[in-house]
Structure 1
Protein backbone atom coordinates (compact mmCIF):
# COMPACT_ATOMS: atom_id res chain seq x y z
CA UNK A 1 0.00 0.00 0.00
CA UNK A 2 2.81 2.35 -0.88
CA UNK A 3 3.08 4.84 -3.70
CA UNK A 4 5.51 7.55 -4.68
CA UNK A 5 4.97 10.78 -2.79
CA UNK A 6 6.17 14.23 -3.89
CA UNK A 7 8.92 15.75 -1.76
CA UNK A 8 7.79 18.00 1.06
CA UNK A 9 8.03 21.71 0.41
CA UNK A 10 9.44 24.40 2.63
CA UNK A 11 8.27 24.61 6.20
CA UNK A 12 5.00 26.53 6.58
CA UNK A 13 5.60 30.21 7.19
CA UNK A 14 4.93 31.66 10.63
CA UNK A 15 1.23 32.16 11.22
CA UNK A 16 -1.02 34.39 13.21
CA UNK A 17 -2.50 32.39 16.07
CA UNK A 18 -6.26 32.77 16.19
CA UNK A 19 -7.54 29.87 18.31
CA UNK A 20 -11.27 29.12 18.32
CA UNK A 21 -13.20 30.64 21.21
CA UNK A 22 -16.69 29.19 20.85
CA UNK A 23 -17.20 27.15 22.86
CA UNK A 24 -14.50 28.33 25.27
CA UNK A 25 -14.38 24.88 26.89
CA UNK A 26 -16.08 21.67 25.83
CA UNK A 27 -16.14 19.37 28.88
CA UNK A 28 -16.89 15.69 28.31
CA UNK A 29 -16.54 14.58 31.94
CA UNK A 30 -15.76 16.20 35.28
CA UNK A 31 -15.11 14.70 38.72
CA UNK A 32 -12.84 15.31 41.71
CA UNK A 33 -9.83 13.77 39.93
CA UNK A 34 -10.24 14.52 36.23
CA UNK A 35 -11.53 16.99 33.71
CA UNK A 36 -11.93 15.41 30.28
CA UNK A 37 -12.19 17.77 27.33
CA UNK A 38 -12.90 17.85 23.64
CA UNK A 39 -10.06 20.00 22.31
CA UNK A 40 -10.89 21.88 19.11
CA UNK A 41 -8.57 21.97 16.13
CA UNK A 42 -6.47 25.15 16.13
CA UNK A 43 -6.01 25.45 19.90
CA UNK A 44 -2.68 24.64 21.58
CA UNK A 45 -2.75 22.05 24.36
CA UNK A 46 -0.28 24.10 26.42
CA UNK A 47 1.05 27.67 26.01
CA UNK A 48 3.85 28.35 23.55
CA UNK A 49 7.01 30.25 24.46
CA UNK A 50 5.94 33.33 22.52
CA UNK A 51 3.48 35.45 24.54
CA UNK A 52 1.29 35.54 21.42
CA UNK A 53 0.81 31.78 21.90
CA UNK A 54 -0.30 31.98 25.53
CA UNK A 55 -3.91 30.95 24.95
CA UNK A 56 -4.25 27.20 25.31
CA UNK A 57 -6.60 24.51 26.54
CA UNK A 58 -4.49 24.09 29.68
CA UNK A 59 -4.70 27.79 30.60
CA UNK A 60 -8.43 27.89 30.00
CA UNK A 61 -8.98 24.86 32.23
CA UNK A 62 -6.65 26.13 34.95
CA UNK A 63 -8.53 29.43 35.09
CA UNK A 64 -11.71 27.52 35.93
CA UNK A 65 -10.19 24.60 37.85
CA UNK A 66 -6.99 25.83 39.57
CA UNK A 67 -4.30 23.22 40.06
CA UNK A 68 -5.27 21.16 37.01
CA UNK A 69 -2.39 19.73 34.98
CA UNK A 70 -2.06 18.13 31.56
CA UNK A 71 -1.50 14.38 31.45
CA UNK A 72 -0.79 14.23 27.69
CA UNK A 73 -0.98 16.54 24.67
CA UNK A 74 -2.52 16.78 21.23
CA UNK A 75 -1.01 18.70 18.32
CA UNK A 76 -2.51 22.15 17.82
CA UNK A 77 -4.40 21.09 14.71
CA UNK A 78 -5.60 17.75 16.11
CA UNK A 79 -8.97 17.73 17.82
CA UNK A 80 -10.47 15.35 20.35
CA UNK A 81 -10.19 13.80 23.79
CA UNK A 82 -7.66 15.34 26.18
CA UNK A 83 -7.47 14.55 29.91
CA UNK A 84 -6.26 16.86 32.67
CA UNK A 85 -5.72 15.80 36.27
CA UNK A 86 -7.11 17.91 39.12
CA UNK A 87 -4.65 16.75 41.80
CA UNK A 88 -1.16 15.31 42.10
CA UNK A 89 -2.36 11.78 42.86
CA UNK A 90 -4.49 11.69 39.74
CA UNK A 91 -1.67 13.20 37.66
CA UNK A 92 0.77 10.50 38.78
CA UNK A 93 -1.77 7.73 38.21
CA UNK A 94 -2.75 8.78 34.69
CA UNK A 95 0.89 9.41 33.84
CA UNK A 96 1.66 5.81 34.77
CA UNK A 97 -1.22 4.57 32.64
CA UNK A 98 0.41 6.24 29.64
CA UNK A 99 3.99 5.38 30.55
CA UNK A 100 3.21 1.69 31.09
CA UNK A 101 1.10 1.67 27.90
CA UNK A 102 -1.99 0.53 29.73
CA UNK A 103 -3.94 3.48 28.35
CA UNK A 104 -5.51 2.85 24.95
CA UNK A 105 -6.55 5.49 22.49
CA UNK A 106 -7.96 5.61 19.00
CA UNK A 107 -8.00 8.35 16.41
CA UNK A 108 -10.04 8.80 13.26
CA UNK A 109 -8.38 10.25 10.17
CA UNK A 110 -9.35 10.96 6.59
CA UNK A 111 -6.38 10.20 4.35
CA UNK A 112 -5.55 10.75 0.71
CA UNK A 113 -6.02 7.84 -1.68
CA UNK A 114 -7.51 4.37 -1.59
CA UNK A 115 -5.76 2.38 1.13
CA UNK A 116 -5.25 -1.24 0.06
CA UNK A 117 -6.60 -3.85 2.44
CA UNK A 118 -8.82 -3.43 5.46
CA UNK A 119 -6.36 -3.38 8.38
CA UNK A 120 -2.70 -3.57 9.19
CA UNK A 121 0.19 -2.16 11.17
CA UNK A 122 2.86 0.41 10.30
CA UNK A 123 6.23 -0.28 11.92
CA UNK A 124 8.66 2.50 11.00
CA UNK A 125 11.21 4.17 13.32
CA UNK A 126 10.91 7.94 13.71
CA UNK A 127 13.32 10.74 14.55
CA UNK A 128 13.31 14.53 14.54
CA UNK A 129 14.06 16.13 11.19
CA UNK A 130 16.49 18.63 12.67
CA UNK A 131 16.78 20.72 9.50
CA UNK A 132 13.00 21.11 9.36
CA UNK A 133 11.99 21.05 13.00
CA UNK A 134 9.31 20.40 14.28
CA UNK A 135 8.84 17.93 11.43
CA UNK A 136 9.69 14.31 12.12
CA UNK A 137 10.90 11.70 9.63
CA UNK A 138 11.36 7.98 9.14
CA UNK A 139 14.93 7.15 10.17
CA UNK A 140 16.01 3.51 10.04
CA UNK A 141 19.41 4.24 11.62
CA UNK A 142 18.69 6.67 14.47
CA UNK A 143 14.92 6.53 14.78
CA UNK A 144 12.97 5.26 17.77
CA UNK A 145 10.67 2.27 17.35
CA UNK A 146 7.19 3.46 16.34
CA UNK A 147 4.11 1.36 15.61
CA UNK A 148 0.62 2.28 14.46
CA UNK A 149 -2.32 -0.09 14.01
CA UNK A 150 -4.89 0.92 11.39
CA UNK A 151 -8.31 -0.20 10.23
CA UNK A 152 -10.48 1.05 7.37
CA UNK A 153 -13.84 2.33 8.62
CA UNK A 154 -15.05 4.11 5.49
CA UNK A 155 -14.25 4.91 1.88
CA UNK A 156 -15.08 7.99 -0.19
CA UNK A 157 -14.06 8.98 -3.70
CA UNK A 158 -10.27 8.96 -3.51
CA UNK A 159 -10.27 9.25 0.29
CA UNK A 160 -10.11 6.59 3.01
CA UNK A 161 -11.36 6.96 6.56
CA UNK A 162 -9.20 5.12 9.08
CA UNK A 163 -9.28 4.28 12.75
CA UNK A 164 -5.74 4.56 14.08
CA UNK A 165 -4.37 3.11 17.30
CA UNK A 166 -0.86 4.31 18.16
CA UNK A 167 1.03 1.54 19.95
CA UNK A 168 3.85 3.97 20.73
CA UNK A 169 3.67 7.69 21.43
CA UNK A 170 6.12 9.52 19.19
CA UNK A 171 5.76 13.13 18.10
CA UNK A 172 3.63 13.40 14.90
CA UNK A 173 3.64 9.59 14.74
CA UNK A 174 0.33 9.13 12.95
CA UNK A 175 0.98 11.98 10.55
CA UNK A 176 4.46 10.75 9.55
CA UNK A 177 3.46 7.09 9.33
CA UNK A 178 0.57 7.82 7.00
CA UNK A 179 2.69 10.11 4.86
CA UNK A 180 5.35 7.37 4.68
CA UNK A 181 2.95 4.78 3.27
CA UNK A 182 1.68 7.20 0.63
CA UNK A 183 -1.56 8.29 2.31
CA UNK A 184 -1.06 11.65 4.05
CA UNK A 185 -3.80 13.00 6.27
CA UNK A 186 -5.94 15.55 4.46
CA UNK A 187 -5.18 19.16 5.34
CA UNK A 188 -1.84 18.39 7.01
CA UNK A 189 0.29 21.52 6.55
CA UNK A 190 3.45 19.69 7.62
CA UNK A 191 3.22 16.41 5.72
CA UNK A 192 0.66 16.75 2.89
CA UNK A 193 1.20 18.45 -0.45
CA UNK A 194 -0.87 19.41 -3.49
CA UNK A 195 -4.40 18.04 -3.61
CA UNK A 196 -4.07 16.19 -0.29
CA UNK A 197 -3.23 19.45 1.45
CA UNK A 198 -5.94 21.43 -0.32
CA UNK A 199 -8.64 18.78 0.26
CA UNK A 200 -9.55 20.04 3.76
CA UNK A 201 -9.42 23.34 5.61
CA UNK A 202 -8.11 21.67 8.77
CA UNK A 203 -6.10 18.61 9.70
CA UNK A 204 -8.46 15.65 9.39
CA UNK A 205 -7.24 13.92 12.54
CA UNK A 206 -9.36 13.49 15.66
CA UNK A 207 -8.64 11.76 18.97
CA UNK A 208 -11.91 9.83 19.13
CA UNK A 209 -11.62 7.89 22.40
CA UNK A 210 -9.29 7.28 25.31
CA UNK A 211 -9.44 4.38 27.75
CA UNK A 212 -7.54 3.94 31.04
CA UNK A 213 -7.99 2.97 34.70
CA UNK A 214 -9.62 5.80 36.65
CA UNK A 215 -7.42 7.17 39.48
CA UNK A 216 -10.35 7.10 41.90
CA UNK A 217 -11.41 3.44 41.92
CA UNK A 218 -9.17 1.78 39.34
CA UNK A 219 -12.06 0.84 37.07
CA UNK A 220 -11.37 1.13 33.34
CA UNK A 221 -13.20 4.08 31.81
CA UNK A 222 -13.56 5.23 28.22
CA UNK A 223 -14.18 8.83 27.18
CA UNK A 224 -15.23 9.76 23.64
CA UNK A 225 -15.33 13.01 21.67
CA UNK A 226 -17.86 13.20 18.83
CA UNK A 227 -16.40 13.13 15.33
CA UNK A 228 -16.21 16.60 13.77
CA UNK A 229 -15.87 15.31 10.19
Structure 2
Protein backbone atom coordinates (compact mmCIF):
# COMPACT_ATOMS: atom_id res chain seq x y z
CA UNK A 1 0.00 0.00 0.00
CA UNK A 2 1.44 3.39 -1.02
CA UNK A 3 0.58 6.11 1.49
CA UNK A 4 1.06 9.87 1.47
CA UNK A 5 -0.32 12.43 3.91
CA UNK A 6 -0.73 16.20 3.77
CA UNK A 7 -1.71 18.58 6.57
CA UNK A 8 -3.53 21.67 5.35
CA UNK A 9 -2.33 24.95 6.95
CA UNK A 10 -4.84 26.55 9.31
CA UNK A 11 -5.09 29.80 7.33
CA UNK A 12 -6.40 28.75 3.93
CA UNK A 13 -8.96 30.48 1.78
CA UNK A 14 -11.80 27.95 1.32
CA UNK A 15 -11.19 25.95 -1.87
CA UNK A 16 -12.44 22.70 -3.39
CA UNK A 17 -10.25 19.64 -2.91
CA UNK A 18 -9.98 19.11 -6.68
CA UNK A 19 -8.21 22.48 -6.90
CA UNK A 20 -6.24 22.45 -3.64
CA UNK A 21 -4.99 18.88 -4.11
CA UNK A 22 -3.15 19.44 -7.40
CA UNK A 23 0.55 18.76 -6.83
CA UNK A 24 0.43 17.76 -3.15
CA UNK A 25 0.87 14.04 -3.86
CA UNK A 26 3.79 12.61 -5.80
CA UNK A 27 1.72 9.67 -7.01
CA UNK A 28 -1.02 11.89 -8.52
CA UNK A 29 0.63 15.23 -9.43
CA UNK A 30 -1.78 16.53 -12.07
CA UNK A 31 -5.39 17.70 -11.94
CA UNK A 32 -6.63 14.84 -14.13
CA UNK A 33 -4.69 12.28 -12.07
CA UNK A 34 -6.09 13.74 -8.84
CA UNK A 35 -9.65 13.40 -10.15
CA UNK A 36 -8.98 9.72 -10.94
CA UNK A 37 -7.67 9.16 -7.42
CA UNK A 38 -10.77 10.81 -5.96
CA UNK A 39 -13.05 8.75 -8.18
CA UNK A 40 -11.34 5.56 -7.00
CA UNK A 41 -11.75 6.72 -3.38
CA UNK A 42 -8.01 6.68 -2.71
CA UNK A 43 -8.16 10.03 -0.88
CA UNK A 44 -9.66 10.75 2.53
CA UNK A 45 -10.10 14.03 4.38
CA UNK A 46 -10.08 13.66 8.17
CA UNK A 47 -10.74 9.97 7.68
CA UNK A 48 -13.74 10.38 5.34
CA UNK A 49 -13.68 9.73 1.57
CA UNK A 50 -12.98 12.90 -0.37
CA UNK A 51 -14.66 14.01 -3.58
CA UNK A 52 -14.21 16.78 -6.13
CA UNK A 53 -16.81 18.80 -4.19
CA UNK A 54 -15.11 18.46 -0.78
CA UNK A 55 -14.28 21.90 0.60
CA UNK A 56 -10.91 22.57 2.22
CA UNK A 57 -11.09 25.30 4.88
CA UNK A 58 -7.88 24.75 6.90
CA UNK A 59 -6.41 22.20 9.30
CA UNK A 60 -7.59 19.09 7.43
CA UNK A 61 -5.54 15.90 7.24
CA UNK A 62 -5.58 14.69 3.65
CA UNK A 63 -4.45 11.10 3.17
CA UNK A 64 -3.73 9.17 -0.01
CA UNK A 65 -3.74 5.36 0.08
CA UNK A 66 -3.07 3.50 -3.17
CA UNK A 67 -3.52 -0.28 -3.13
CA UNK A 68 -0.70 -2.37 -4.61
CA UNK A 69 -0.86 -2.77 -8.36
CA UNK A 70 -1.58 -6.24 -9.67
CA UNK A 71 1.67 -7.93 -10.57
CA UNK A 72 2.21 -8.31 -14.29
CA UNK A 73 5.16 -9.21 -16.45
CA UNK A 74 3.47 -7.93 -19.56
CA UNK A 75 5.43 -5.14 -21.24
CA UNK A 76 4.58 -3.26 -24.41
CA UNK A 77 7.31 -3.73 -27.02
CA UNK A 78 6.87 -0.65 -29.20
CA UNK A 79 10.10 1.08 -30.31
CA UNK A 80 10.02 4.87 -30.10
CA UNK A 81 12.44 7.45 -31.47
CA UNK A 82 13.92 9.34 -28.52
CA UNK A 83 14.68 12.94 -29.53
CA UNK A 84 16.08 14.14 -26.20
CA UNK A 85 16.56 12.56 -22.79
CA UNK A 86 18.19 13.37 -19.46
CA UNK A 87 17.57 12.34 -15.85
CA UNK A 88 14.50 14.60 -15.56
CA UNK A 89 12.56 14.38 -18.82
CA UNK A 90 12.42 13.05 -22.35
CA UNK A 91 10.97 14.02 -25.71
CA UNK A 92 9.93 11.21 -28.03
CA UNK A 93 8.40 10.97 -31.48
CA UNK A 94 4.79 9.79 -31.47
CA UNK A 95 3.76 7.95 -34.65
CA UNK A 96 0.19 7.93 -35.90
CA UNK A 97 -2.12 5.16 -34.74
CA UNK A 98 -1.24 4.95 -31.04
CA UNK A 99 -3.04 6.76 -28.23
CA UNK A 100 -0.95 8.65 -25.68
CA UNK A 101 -2.66 7.14 -22.63
CA UNK A 102 -5.86 5.41 -21.60
CA UNK A 103 -7.26 2.08 -20.52
CA UNK A 104 -5.95 0.05 -23.46
CA UNK A 105 -2.63 -1.83 -23.29
CA UNK A 106 -1.21 -0.32 -26.48
CA UNK A 107 -0.52 3.25 -25.35
CA UNK A 108 2.52 5.43 -25.73
CA UNK A 109 2.60 5.78 -21.94
CA UNK A 110 3.02 2.00 -21.59
CA UNK A 111 5.79 2.03 -24.20
CA UNK A 112 7.85 4.76 -22.48
CA UNK A 113 9.51 2.60 -19.76
CA UNK A 114 10.91 0.22 -22.40
CA UNK A 115 12.33 3.09 -24.47
CA UNK A 116 13.81 5.41 -21.82
CA UNK A 117 16.64 5.01 -19.31
CA UNK A 118 15.45 4.88 -15.69
CA UNK A 119 16.20 8.12 -13.87
CA UNK A 120 18.88 7.90 -11.16
CA UNK A 121 17.37 10.76 -9.17
CA UNK A 122 15.80 10.10 -5.72
CA UNK A 123 12.23 10.80 -6.87
CA UNK A 124 12.47 8.68 -10.04
CA UNK A 125 9.03 7.67 -11.31
CA UNK A 126 7.52 5.70 -14.14
CA UNK A 127 7.88 7.98 -17.19
CA UNK A 128 4.61 9.81 -17.82
CA UNK A 129 3.39 11.99 -20.73
CA UNK A 130 2.53 15.52 -19.61
CA UNK A 131 0.31 16.50 -22.56
CA UNK A 132 -1.79 14.89 -25.28
CA UNK A 133 -1.70 14.31 -29.01
CA UNK A 134 -4.63 12.83 -30.92
CA UNK A 135 -4.51 9.23 -32.12
CA UNK A 136 -3.85 10.25 -35.73
CA UNK A 137 -1.43 13.12 -34.97
CA UNK A 138 2.30 12.57 -35.33
CA UNK A 139 5.14 14.46 -33.68
CA UNK A 140 6.86 15.45 -30.46
CA UNK A 141 5.60 14.35 -27.07
CA UNK A 142 7.08 15.46 -23.72
CA UNK A 143 7.32 13.11 -20.74
CA UNK A 144 8.56 13.48 -17.18
CA UNK A 145 10.84 10.87 -15.57
CA UNK A 146 10.63 12.00 -11.93
CA UNK A 147 7.81 13.18 -9.68
CA UNK A 148 9.23 16.68 -9.46
CA UNK A 149 9.73 16.87 -13.24
CA UNK A 150 6.16 15.77 -13.94
CA UNK A 151 4.84 18.47 -11.60
CA UNK A 152 7.17 21.14 -13.03
CA UNK A 153 6.32 20.32 -16.64
CA UNK A 154 2.60 20.38 -15.92
CA UNK A 155 3.11 23.81 -14.36
CA UNK A 156 4.90 25.00 -17.53
CA UNK A 157 1.91 23.97 -19.63
CA UNK A 158 -0.56 25.55 -17.20
CA UNK A 159 1.41 28.80 -17.27
CA UNK A 160 1.67 28.70 -21.09
CA UNK A 161 5.46 28.55 -20.94
CA UNK A 162 5.70 25.84 -23.62
CA UNK A 163 5.69 27.06 -27.22
CA UNK A 164 4.09 24.44 -29.46
CA UNK A 165 4.29 24.53 -33.25
CA UNK A 166 2.23 22.25 -35.46
CA UNK A 167 2.14 21.77 -39.22
CA UNK A 168 -0.94 20.79 -41.17
CA UNK A 169 -2.06 20.38 -44.75
CA UNK A 170 -5.31 22.33 -45.20
CA UNK A 171 -7.64 22.33 -48.18
CA UNK A 172 -9.12 25.21 -50.20
CA UNK A 173 -7.90 28.77 -50.66
CA UNK A 174 -6.98 30.59 -47.45
CA UNK A 175 -5.44 33.85 -46.25
CA UNK A 176 -1.66 33.92 -45.87
CA UNK A 177 -1.80 34.39 -42.08
CA UNK A 178 -4.18 35.21 -39.27
CA UNK A 179 -5.58 34.44 -35.82
CA UNK A 180 -8.56 32.20 -35.06
CA UNK A 181 -10.29 33.00 -31.78
CA UNK A 182 -13.55 31.04 -32.03
CA UNK A 183 -14.42 29.44 -28.65
CA UNK A 184 -14.03 25.66 -28.44
CA UNK A 185 -16.58 23.78 -26.34
CA UNK A 186 -17.64 27.08 -24.78
CA UNK A 187 -14.10 27.99 -23.70
CA UNK A 188 -11.85 30.72 -25.08
CA UNK A 189 -9.34 29.48 -27.66
CA UNK A 190 -6.71 31.10 -29.85
CA UNK A 191 -4.68 29.76 -32.76
CA UNK A 192 -2.13 31.70 -34.82
CA UNK A 193 -1.48 30.44 -38.34
CA UNK A 194 0.50 31.25 -41.46
CA UNK A 195 0.63 29.56 -44.84
CA UNK A 196 4.15 28.45 -45.76
CA UNK A 197 3.45 26.96 -49.18
CA UNK A 198 0.50 26.14 -51.42
CA UNK A 199 -0.10 24.00 -54.48
CA UNK A 200 -3.12 23.72 -56.75
CA UNK A 201 -5.24 20.60 -56.58
CA UNK A 202 -7.87 19.38 -59.02
CA UNK A 203 -9.96 17.86 -56.23
CA UNK A 204 -9.39 20.34 -53.36
CA UNK A 205 -8.70 23.58 -55.23
CA UNK A 206 -5.60 24.27 -53.14
CA UNK A 207 -3.51 22.35 -50.64
CA UNK A 208 -1.76 24.58 -48.10
CA UNK A 209 1.17 23.79 -45.84
CA UNK A 210 0.23 25.70 -42.69
CA UNK A 211 2.22 26.49 -39.56
CA UNK A 212 0.05 26.58 -36.44
CA UNK A 213 0.82 28.00 -33.01
CA UNK A 214 -1.97 27.23 -30.53
CA UNK A 215 -2.03 29.68 -27.62
CA UNK A 216 -4.55 27.55 -25.73
CA UNK A 217 -4.90 23.79 -25.46
CA UNK A 218 -8.53 22.87 -26.05
CA UNK A 219 -9.46 19.38 -27.22
CA UNK A 220 -9.30 19.16 -31.04
CA UNK A 221 -8.68 22.92 -31.09
CA UNK A 222 -6.63 23.02 -34.30
CA UNK A 223 -8.96 20.70 -36.17
CA UNK A 224 -12.07 22.61 -35.10
CA UNK A 225 -10.55 26.03 -35.76
CA UNK A 226 -9.39 25.19 -39.27
CA UNK A 227 -12.66 23.48 -40.12
CA UNK A 228 -14.57 26.56 -38.93
CA UNK A 229 -12.36 28.70 -41.13
CA UNK A 230 -13.44 26.63 -44.15
CA UNK A 231 -9.98 25.06 -44.46
CA UNK A 232 -10.19 21.68 -42.73
CA UNK A 233 -7.10 19.52 -42.33
CA UNK A 234 -6.59 16.99 -45.11
CA UNK A 235 -7.73 13.54 -44.00
CA UNK A 236 -9.89 14.78 -41.12
CA UNK A 237 -12.91 12.46 -41.14
CA UNK A 238 -14.55 14.13 -38.14
CA UNK A 239 -14.29 17.82 -39.08
CA UNK A 240 -13.78 17.66 -42.84
CA UNK A 241 -16.12 18.90 -45.54
CA UNK A 242 -18.55 16.40 -47.03
CA UNK A 243 -17.25 15.06 -50.33
CA UNK A 244 -13.76 16.45 -49.69
CA UNK A 245 -12.43 13.93 -47.18
CA UNK A 246 -9.27 12.07 -48.17
CA UNK A 247 -9.48 8.50 -46.95
CA UNK A 248 -6.76 5.96 -46.26
CA UNK A 249 -3.87 8.42 -45.82
CA UNK A 250 -4.47 9.46 -42.22
CA UNK A 251 -4.63 12.94 -40.74
CA UNK A 252 -2.17 15.52 -42.05
CA UNK A 253 -1.39 17.09 -38.68
CA UNK A 254 2.11 17.03 -37.17
CA UNK A 255 3.45 18.35 -33.86
CA UNK A 256 6.67 19.73 -35.30
CA UNK A 257 8.40 21.49 -32.41
CA UNK A 258 8.36 22.18 -28.68
CA UNK A 259 10.25 25.04 -27.11
CA UNK A 260 10.59 25.64 -23.37
CA UNK A 261 13.08 26.34 -20.62
CA UNK A 262 14.26 23.18 -18.88
CA UNK A 263 12.81 23.53 -15.34
CA UNK A 264 15.95 22.13 -13.67
CA UNK A 265 18.93 23.04 -15.86
CA UNK A 266 17.59 26.37 -17.16
CA UNK A 267 18.64 25.42 -20.70
CA UNK A 268 16.43 26.63 -23.52
CA UNK A 269 15.25 23.50 -25.34
CA UNK A 270 13.95 23.80 -28.89
CA UNK A 271 13.30 20.31 -30.23
CA UNK A 272 12.13 19.92 -33.84
CA UNK A 273 11.40 17.12 -36.26
CA UNK A 274 11.20 16.85 -40.02
CA UNK A 275 7.83 16.84 -41.75
CA UNK A 276 6.41 13.36 -42.40
CA UNK A 277 7.03 11.85 -45.84
CA UNK A 278 3.38 12.22 -46.83
CA UNK A 279 3.72 16.02 -46.39
CA UNK A 280 6.86 16.11 -48.53
CA UNK A 281 5.16 14.12 -51.28
CA UNK A 282 2.78 17.05 -51.73
CA UNK A 283 5.16 19.99 -51.32
CA UNK A 284 8.59 18.49 -51.92
CA UNK A 285 11.53 19.51 -49.67
CA UNK A 286 10.57 22.45 -47.47
CA UNK A 287 13.17 25.13 -46.80
CA UNK A 288 14.54 25.29 -43.24
CA UNK A 289 13.91 29.04 -43.22
CA UNK A 290 10.21 28.29 -43.53
CA UNK A 291 10.15 25.83 -40.65
CA UNK A 292 12.63 27.59 -38.38
CA UNK A 293 15.86 26.20 -36.94
CA UNK A 294 16.95 23.96 -34.09
CA UNK A 295 19.00 26.64 -32.37
CA UNK A 296 18.22 26.95 -28.68
TM-score range, shorter chain: 0.7 to 0.9
> For the Cα contact (< 8 Å) 2:79–2:115, is it kept in 1?
no
Residue number among 234, 246, 253 corresponding to 1:186 in the alignment: 234
Residue number among 81, 89, 111 corresponding to 2:140 in the alignment: 81
Aligned length: 189
Q: Larger radius of gyration, structure 1 or 2?
A: 2
- Alpha-carbon distance between aligned partners in 1 of 2:159 and 2:217, rounded to the nearest angstrom: 11
1:113 matched residue in structure 2? 172
TM-score, normalized by length of structure 2?
A: 0.61
2:106 matched residue in structure 1? 55
> For the Cα contact (< 8 Å) 2:170–2:208, is it kept in 1?
yes
- Alpha-carbon distance between aligned partners in 1 of 2:248 and 2:178, rounded to the nearest angstrom: 25
- Alpha-carbon distance between aligned partners in 2 of 1:164 and 1:125, rounded to the nearest angstrom: 17
- Alpha-carbon distance between aligned partners in 2 of 1:69 and 1:57, rounded to the nearest angstrom: 9
Q: Which secondary structure does the structure 1 equivalent of 2:111 belong to?
A: helix
Q: CA RMSD in A?
A: 1.8
1:222 matched residue in structure 2? 270
Q: Which secondary structure does the structure 2 equivalent of 1:189 belong to?
A: coil
- Alpha-carbon distance between aligned partners in 2 of 1:97 and 1:75, rounded to the nearest angstrom: 20
Structure 1 residue 33 corresponds to structure 2 residue 33: no
Cα distance change, pair 78–22 in 1 and its aligned pair in 2 (3 A): farther
2:249 matched residue in structure 1? 201
- Alpha-carbon distance between aligned partners in 1 of 2:221 and 2:193, rounded to the nearest angstrom: 13
Residue number among 208, 225, 236 corresponding to 1:160 in the alignment: 208
2:122 matched residue in structure 1? none
1:194 Cα offset (Å): 3.9
Q: Which runs of 5+ in 1 are unaligned?
A: 1-20, 128-142
- Alpha-carbon distance between aligned partners in 2 of 1:148 and 1:76, rounded to the nearest angstrom: 21
1:62 Cα offset (Å): 2.4
1:200 Cα offset (Å): 6.3
1:123 matched residue in structure 2? 181
1:94 matched residue in structure 2? 153
Cα distance change, pair 23–161 in 1 and its aligned pair in 2 (3 A): farther
1:22 Cα offset (Å): 10
> For the Cα contact (< 8 Å) 2:80–2:115, is it kept in 1?
no
Q: CA offsets per residue over residues 171-201 of structure 1, 9 Å max, x none?
A: 0000000000100000012111345321661
Alignment of 1:60-75 (within 5 A): 60-65=111-116, 67-75=126-134
TM-score, normalized by length of structure 1?
A: 0.78
- Alpha-carbon distance between aligned partners in 1 of 2:247 and 2:174, rounded to the nearest angstrom: 17
Q: Which secondary structure does the structure 2 equivalent of 1:68 belong to?
A: strand
